[in-house]
Chain A
């Protein structure tokens, strides 16, 4: 009895540590990931409670106090209409975070479906879909997004649609490769021989085995999506001018170049959020791809 328990306790030492333990280990080795996680969580909380914690309504004008440098009343200064920059920056998270996520979700879903169909169907369908993917990739993506937004008319929703339209090709390529790899494995053959339909095999047997890499790619991509949305909106192809959207606020701030607080704080808001996502994405890649750890 005692010998059995001693064996089991000695084998336990060779078991790989639990996932939670691994996560803690990696977080301690990558303080930047932790920093990124904290910032993202903080921004997410802010986006939920902005209406409660913002000192002033984001659209409320106060012409007497216009263009105030940061002071006790206007923590981050005020803009050309006397609106409180601090409140506007807080409110801005309610536009930017959902917009960035929406682009990633729509774009990656579209890409996953197209790539999966191309990889599974093969032949002419594959050829056509992949040429289409290449075509979308030939346009520098912001240019294509600009053309689409200009065609649809500028507002938040159309900016998200435009970015999603240009976002899918990378996912389609990755997914096609993965599906090709999984397709030839034995359990897929087994599903076929058990009489499963092609649709069932693709979506229930093959896809679940390809989803993890797509999720990682999506995490790596959120920062880029946010920065692209801000750029579109900076150009004037996003929300309407009065909106407390960060990119838009920076572009209005250019006309008031010497009132640096007008563009610096919203700019830093974008940078801090994007940097946080990039820290997480970078750390995630290091953790999942041991080759890059250089060990």
Chain B
């Protein structure tokens, strides 16, 4: 199978899934016992007959359920996710303004997390049953067993409030001005503007939340790396590689790590879900104005349109990430190309 065929086949599998997600989001939205007009319109608009009529017409509430869904899908395709009760702005607009902040945090978090997770997994597999192995596994246990909000609070107390070696909540110090918006990611925008001071400040503010996120997702990555590498290390071809006189570094780095990476890539794809969950909890503690914080505020104030908008976005991202993971398999696993 060449790459193009593989790509098309995967894409065809993803499309019905995306449609299904919209059906499900629509059904959950219909599950609310309350009248959707009450759930969606601000309280003061409920006295206004015209507003209510306009709302019902726009979302087709006077029509049967399947037609309502089509209207919903049509509005969705135009990027219309409804209006947030809390911010009184279109949910799509709210999301697109906050998304860059979360992408910035999540990207740094996953880079830290993969580095930490694969690193710890390598250490524990190579020096199995040593002190280093136990230390690495205890770190993994903490990452899995401690609620991420507790980790965030402990990090904030220790490194910010007590030791004063990390920047605190928010995206920038209060006295700093955000860089001119290009991507919405402060570090990149600051670099584009050539403003190193702002870049450093924005980066400093990212370090603590990104590290918390990293510890959280590295736990699973390190466990899988360890067990997968341990299995590979016992294979015959590893002995062959050593027997033909390759250096240990090369044997593990090239023959070992590469072959143990397939389950690790799967887990990284799956842990993207954890990353999003983590971002909700971490952003709300670090007062970091991204999608997670927005979702947190929406949940605590029953802002249903906002909740559904973010849920849809996260589900789409999740499907997208796993699509990318499938594509990466193609390059990592030669068996797919033969099949």
Contact = CB atoms under 8 A, between A and B. Distances in A.
Contacts of B295: 143, 146
A70 interface: no
Given A139-B318, A231-B277, A235-B300, A144 B150 contact: no
B122 to A, nearest CB: 15
Interface string A216-240: 0000000100010011001111000
A247 B153 contact: no
A139 B314 contact: yes
A38 B128 CA distance: 27
Chain A, interface residues (CB within 8 Å), range: 35 or more
Interface in B278-326: 280-281, 284-285, 295-296, 299-300, 302, 304, 307-308, 310-311, 314-315, 318-319
Interface stretch (B20-28, B61-69, B87-95, B202-210): B20-28
A294 B230 contact: yes
A143 B284 CA distance: 15
Given A131-B16, A150-B302, A230 B147 contact: yes
B112 interface: no
Interface string B151-176: 00110110001000000000000000
B299 A257 contact: no
A218 to B, nearest CB: 17
Contacts of B21: 135, 138-139
B304 A140 contact: no
B276 interface: yes
A291 B231 contact: yes
A235 B231 contact: no
Interface string A143-175: 110111111110000000000000000000000
A118 B33 CA distance: 31
B78 interface: no
A189 interface: no
Interface stretch (A49-57, A97-105, A109-117, A269-277): A269-277
Nearest to B144: A278
A142 interface: yes
Contacts of A139: 21, 24, 311, 314-315, 318
B280 A235 contact: yes
Given A150-B307, A151-B304, A227 B153 contact: no
Interface in A60-101: none
A181 interface: no
A86 B20 CA distance: 47
Interface string B187-223: 0000000000000000000000000000000000000
Interface centre among B29, B141, B145, B300 (most CB of A within 10 A): B145
Contacts of B141: 275, 278-279
A150 B32 CA distance: 8
B311 A250 contact: no
B266 interface: no
B243 interface: no
B71 to A, nearest CB: 20
A263 interface: yes
A150 B234 CA distance: 50
10 contacts: A138-B21, A138-B319, A146-B295, A153-B33, A231-B148, A250-B153, A258-B161, A267-B150, A274-B147, A294-B230
Q: Which 10 A-B pairs have the closest CB atoms?
A: A267-B150, A275-B145, A140-B273, A236-B300, A142-B277, A135-B20, A274-B145, A151-B31, A271-B146, A139-B315
